[in-house]
Amino acid sequence: MDEKTVTFKVKDYKDKSKEKVLTLSGVEFIRRFLMHVLPKGFVKLKHFGLLGNRNKKTKLALCKKLTHNKVYKL
**pTM exceeds 0.85 for this model:** no
Predicted confidence at residue 6, as pLDDT, reads 96
Dihedral angle of Cα 25, 31, 37, 40, to the nearest 10 degrees: 140
pLDDT in tens, 8-59: 999 999 999 999 999 999 999 999 999 989 899 988 877 777 777 777 888 8
Judge contact between 56 and 69, C-beta under 8 A: no
Predicted confidence at residue 71, as pLDDT, reads 63
Predicted confidence at residue 4, as pLDDT, reads 95
Predicted confidence at residue 28, as pLDDT, reads 96
At residue 72, does pLDDT exceed 70?
no
